[in-house]
Chains A and B, each alone.
Chain A
Amino acid sequence: MKIHIRPVRALSYLLIVFGILACVVQPSVDDVRQHRWWSGLGPVLPHDTFPADCSLCHLGEDWHELRESFHFDHEAETGVALLGAHANASCLRCHNDRGPVATFAARGCGGCHEDVHIGQLGQDCLKCHQRQTWEPIGMLAQHNRTRFPLVGVHAATACRRCHEGAEIGRFKPISTECHTCHAADLARANNPNHIAFGWTRNCDDCHVPTTWTQAEVR
């Protein structure tokens, strides 16, 4: 499917659609309370150390609803800080039917979150992601630790231009040989004709990655 779309118009469309969706799915004020209680799951949270008076936190006859003013300092009470987006998550996102949350939490991010990198990038998610929105951070510094530091125009290139599966979290496998990504550029190099001269490898003998269109030739 190839469709040519003007970027500004595409951005406008996207923002309009996003606005509509965000408004449509916006729940009532009651539903967005930070610590939403779902009556269905029952008391899966440990209450052993809680205050004796249930009404300090709960409303109603069945205790399924929390007071508007309810606040729970997870770090002070349990010794486990809720960082990033976890601070706004409802209790039952973690304390639920799957089993004891400590078992899953002990396994790090992968205890609860799917590994879209299918194990190829290790267990330490925070090496590349920030906690709140999970957006990647510090990728250029990380890449400089590989055998292919990003120099010149490579540092200003979108990840997906080399890692075709980057959008779905797949960064491997890939070769560092120039023609892996620049096969089309090699075919277009007619002045002089690189292929005719047999110049199909070791591009770095003559080129440095300063620009896209004009090589620096020694």
Chain B
Amino acid sequence: MRRECGTWILLAALGVPIAHGQGTGERNEAAPAQDAEPSGVEKITLRVTGILAGGIVTIDRGTADGLREGDRVTLRPLAGKPRPGRVSRVDERSAEVRLEGPGGVIPVGTRGFAQLPAERFATPVAVGPATPQVDETLPEHAPWEYTDDGFEEGMPLLRSIDGVRPQDRAPIVTGRVFSMGDLRLTSDDGRKDGFLRLGTELHYENPAERGGQLYFIGEVNHRMTEVNGQVDESVSIGRLDRLSYSVGGTRFEPSRHEFGRFLHDGVPEFGILDGYEWNQRLEGGHRFGTSVGFLPEPTPKMSTGDDFAVSGFYQWASDERERLTATGAYQKSWHNGDADRDLFVFKLDYWEPEDWDFHATTWVDWYTEGDVGKGAGPELTSVYASSTRRFANGNGLLFTYTHDRLPSVDRYEFPVLDPLLLATERDDRLAGDGWAWVRNDRRLFARSGAWVDQEDFGGDLELGVEQLDVWIDGNRTELSVFGSRGQFSTLLGLRTIYGVQRNLLHWSVSYEYFQSNQIGFTDDNDDLDHHRLLGNLDLTRHSGWNLSLRGGLERWSDEFAGVAGFYLQRSF
């Protein structure tokens, strides 16, 4: 509005004849077309900026916008009917409006409008163009030292302002501290399993005012398992998940460097690295990069030093928005000095946020004669491909395909397997999920899948309905039936979930029953009736505290199990 007034004054100063309604389309983009207004009336849009006591709200318009005490105002909350009001006090650029009639709370941000007499906007017209007065006695200004990002001759001075350079801004620290624990008990011989964690995550932005990022993520934890009264496992571990410093990779600096312990930035599929990575962004959004360092083992201790790796990648992007990207990458690793893995990763990503997306990542290992359980040459180790189609009414479809084989690597990644299994194990899965809103508060969903491995095949199907606001607003009820044929067993069951979501509180309970039957058994003692009752409670405070509690009971055959856990977090 202020800009609009300025436009009018400028037009007047330039001697442009101002007809009624001219330029009102710029007054506010949300305002309806001027033609729709009655003759002699100007409509201004406004917004609620605050709530005062006594049914009074403040708005962002004042006398400068033509508003006067006593003017009628109509507010349009997103939920509910339009709410009338009358201006009770007015300043130059804000005003107070006393609401009239019944209605709920008007939230800050609510839009509205006022229809004002057109004569309030009749600005006196100046005759003839203004002649700039130049004081020739002014001394010449020294050259400007500040470089405005991207500014070129000919650009308007009132262009958008760019951000401040790292050296001109202060450092800041954010992060969290968390603690969590789980305890599981099963009835047979009092098996216990416990897990306690205490960790922290710190993010120091712009240290030394060089625009860098310093990260620390680490934790200590203790795990304990007792079987039949005997300690099966009791171990405490201190783990460093991340300790790294990165610089660049921003709008100011297309080159990015990171060293320390961190997850690969260019190609996360290469895992965590103890070393150095460099990426470079090119014109048009393309990127390339390389890394060198040790690969920590993917185990709770994350031991390092045995596996050395180098890698490189190139990412092609259709444009700077990166709607379509294709990536090719290669990683070579050595285990205790001996050549180990030749891993190729290929990725294709397409994003059309309002419509659909497609992602595919493939891992290809190139084996040599010496690799256990594999022949020389390339082998498709893994594929994860998915595509989501979203419709305007909230309905959607999701298709997923996965392919997994066990890689032959010297590096420790999983329990050692015999060569036969390494040579033959494979798993392919195709899944399709769909959901459709049949009413504003009711959604139907279906999930299905089929798998095939080196010996067998199977699949799963789940059909359900989700109902919102059953008894009270903000709750959610879900009911579904499901069946699954696995490698060793079949399932048939149903599940129901009831959950309540409030601003800072969320809780839910669920019950699941299914009957499982072990494939291959001919006797009846393989039929297990499962009952599962789960509950969880999440509390959040604006001050940064989170508390989650959860518990569950499980019963099958003549046995039962219980699980309880907590999660406490303080963000800062």
For A40, give its contact among B164, B320, B532, B563 (CB under 8 Å): B164
**Chain B positions within 8 Å of A168 at CB level:** 239, 241, 272, 298-300, 302
Most-contacted residue by chain A among B299, B488, B556 (CB, 10 A): B488
Given the known A-B contacts A56-B49, A119-B269, A213-B188, are A43 and B163 also in contact in the complex, defined by CB atoms under 8 Å?
yes
**Chain B positions within 8 Å of A27 at CB level:** 572
Asked if B339 CB lies within 8 Å of chain A CBs, one says no
Indicate if the CB atoms of B200 and A21 lie closer than 8 Å.
yes
**Which secondary structure dominates where chain A touches chain B?**
loop
Per-position contact with A for B473-501: 1 when CB-CB < 8 Å, else 0? 00000000010101111010001000000
Given the known A-B contacts A107-B322, A148-B487, A212-B188, are A53 and B94 also in contact in the complex, defined by CB atoms under 8 Å?
yes
Indicate if the CB atoms of A164 and B177 lie closer than 8 Å.
no
Per-position contact with A for B267-302: 1 when CB-CB < 8 Å, else 0? 011111000000000000000000000000011111
**What is the bound-complex CA distance between A158 and B323, given in angstroms?**
39
Given the known A-B contacts A21-B177, A32-B572, A97-B250, are A149 and B546 also in contact in the complex, defined by CB atoms under 8 Å?
no
Indicate if the CB atoms of B544 and A88 lie closer than 8 Å.
yes
Indicate if the CB atoms of B530 and A151 lie closer than 8 Å.
yes
**Chain A positions within 8 Å of B532 at CB level:** 140, 155
**Chain B positions within 8 Å of A5 at CB level:** 222, 224, 234, 236
A-B contact list, 7 entries, CB within 8 Å: A51-B47, A73-B107, A90-B174, A97-B250, A167-B221, A208-B526, A218-B521
**What is the bound-complex CA distance between A140 and B272, given in angstroms?**
28
Per-position contact with A for B502-546: 1 when CB-CB < 8 Å, else 0? 000010000010101011111101101010100010101011101
8 further A-B pairs in the complex, CB-CB below 8 A; given A18-B178, A97-B250: A49-B29, A73-B109, A146-B429, A153-B561, A167-B221, A168-B241, A175-B415, A213-B228
A157 to chain B minimum Cβ distance, whole angstroms, is 7
Asked if A109 CB lies within 8 Å of chain B CBs, one says no
Asked if A190 CB lies within 8 Å of chain B CBs, one says no
Asked if A174 CB lies within 8 Å of chain B CBs, one says yes
**What is the bound-complex CA distance between A152 and B561, given in angstroms?**
10
**What is the bound-complex CA distance between A22 and B198, given in angstroms?**
11
Indicate if the CB atoms of B263 and A216 lie closer than 8 Å.
no
**Chain B positions within 8 Å of A51 at CB level:** 47, 49, 60
Indicate if the CB atoms of A157 and B415 lie closer than 8 Å.
no
Indicate if the CB atoms of B453 and A147 lie closer than 8 Å.
yes
**What is the bound-complex CA distance between A194 and B546, given in angstroms?**
50
**Chain A positions within 8 Å of B514 at CB level:** 144
For B169, give its contact among A41, A103, A122, A167 (CB under 8 Å): A41
Indicate if the CB atoms of B164 and A98 lie closer than 8 Å.
no
**Which secondary structure dominates where chain B touches chain A?**
strand
Indicate if the CB atoms of B404 and A216 lie closer than 8 Å.
no
Asked if A11 CB lies within 8 Å of chain B CBs, one says yes
Indicate if the CB atoms of B237 and A44 lie closer than 8 Å.
no
Indicate if the CB atoms of B489 and A97 lie closer than 8 Å.
no
Complex A-B, nearest 8 residue pairs according to Cβ-Cβ distance, in ascending order: A40-B169, A156-B561, A51-B60, A97-B250, A42-B164, A42-B163, A211-B188, A165-B298
Nearest B-chain residue to A31, judged by Cβ: B572
Q: Which of B165-209 contact A (CB under 8 A)?
A: 166, 168-170, 172, 174-175, 177-179, 181-182, 184, 186, 188-189, 191, 193-198, 200, 206
Indicate if the CB atoms of B540 and A103 lie closer than 8 Å.
no
Most-contacted residue by chain B among A22, A27, A69 (CB, 10 A): A22
**Chain B positions within 8 Å of A211 at CB level:** 188, 559
Asked if B26 CB lies within 8 Å of chain A CBs, one says no
Q: Which of A101-160 contact B (CB under 8 A)?
A: 103, 105-108, 114-116, 118-124, 130, 132-133, 135, 137, 140-141, 144-149, 151-153, 155-158, 160
For B447, give its contact among A11, A145, A177 (CB under 8 Å): A145
For B109, give its contact among A77, A145, A155 (CB under 8 Å): A77
Q: Which of A29-60 contact B (CB under 8 A)?
A: 31-32, 34, 38-44, 49, 51-53, 56
Asked if B470 CB lies within 8 Å of chain A CBs, one says no
A-B contact count (CB 8 A): 336
**What is the bound-complex CA distance between A140 and B194, given in angstroms?**
19
For B569, give its contact among A49, A133, A208 (CB under 8 Å): A133
| Segment among B8-16, B118-126, B129-137, B406-414 that sits at the interface with chain A | B406-414
**Chain A positions within 8 Å of B491 at CB level:** 144, 149, 151
Indicate if the CB atoms of B236 and A98 lie closer than 8 Å.
no
**What is the bound-complex CA distance between A207 and B557, given in angstroms?**
14
**What is the bound-complex CA distance between A39 and B169, given in angstroms?**
7
Given the known A-B contacts A32-B543, A88-B542, A141-B495, are A73 and B108 also in contact in the complex, defined by CB atoms under 8 Å?
yes
For B251, give its contact among A97, A106, A173 (CB under 8 Å): A97
Indicate if the CB atoms of A173 and B414 lie closer than 8 Å.
yes
**What is the bound-complex CA distance between A171 and B68, given in angstroms?**
66
Per-position contact with A for B367-407: 1 when CB-CB < 8 Å, else 0? 00000000000000010101010000000001010001111
Asked if A191 CB lies within 8 Å of chain B CBs, one says no
**What is the bound-complex CA distance between A183 and B414, given in angstroms?**
13
Indicate if the CB atoms of A158 and B195 lie closer than 8 Å.
yes
Indicate if the CB atoms of B488 and A145 lie closer than 8 Å.
no
Most-contacted residue by chain A among B110, B163, B235, B536 (CB, 10 A): B163
Indicate if the CB atoms of B570 and A26 lie closer than 8 Å.
yes
Indicate if the CB atoms of A40 and B321 lie closer than 8 Å.
no
**Chain B positions within 8 Å of A165 at CB level:** 298-300, 413
Indicate if the CB atoms of B163 and A18 lie closer than 8 Å.
no
For B482, give its contact among A34, A40, A144, A170 (CB under 8 Å): A144
Given the known A-B contacts A132-B538, A144-B484, A173-B406, are A119 and B268 also in contact in the complex, defined by CB atoms under 8 Å?
yes
Indicate if the CB atoms of A180 and B417 lie closer than 8 Å.
yes
**Chain B positions within 8 Å of A106 at CB level:** 321, 323, 351, 353
Indicate if the CB atoms of B518 and A208 lie closer than 8 Å.
yes
Indicate if the CB atoms of A88 and B414 lie closer than 8 Å.
no
Asked if B71 CB lies within 8 Å of chain A CBs, one says no
Indicate if the CB atoms of B523 and A118 lie closer than 8 Å.
no
Asked if A187 CB lies within 8 Å of chain B CBs, one says no
**What is the bound-complex CA distance between A188 and B104, given in angstroms?**
70
**Chain B positions within 8 Å of A44 at CB level:** 163
Most-contacted residue by chain B among A5, A31, A149, A165 (CB, 10 A): A149
Nearest A-chain residue to B109, judged by Cβ: A73
**What is the bound-complex CA distance between A135 and B561, given in angstroms?**
21
**Chain B positions within 8 Å of A103 at CB level:** 320-322
**Chain B positions within 8 Å of A155 at CB level:** 530, 532, 554, 556, 561
**What is the bound-complex CA distance between A121 and B268, given in angstroms?**
12
Indicate if the CB atoms of B556 and A14 lie closer than 8 Å.
no
Asked if B33 CB lies within 8 Å of chain A CBs, one says no
Given the known A-B contacts A145-B431, A160-B223, are A152 and B557 also in contact in the complex, defined by CB atoms under 8 Å?
yes
B162 to chain A minimum Cβ distance, whole angstroms, is 7
**Chain A positions within 8 Å of B407 at CB level:** 173
Per-position contact with B for A171-197: 1 when CB-CB < 8 Å, else 0? 011111100110100000000000000
For A149, give its contact among B238, B484, B536 (CB under 8 Å): B484
Asked if A205 CB lies within 8 Å of chain B CBs, one says yes
Per-position contact with B for A68-79: 1 when CB-CB < 8 Å, else 0? 010111001100
Indicate if the CB atoms of A26 and B572 lie closer than 8 Å.
yes
Indicate if the CB atoms of B486 and A160 lie closer than 8 Å.
no
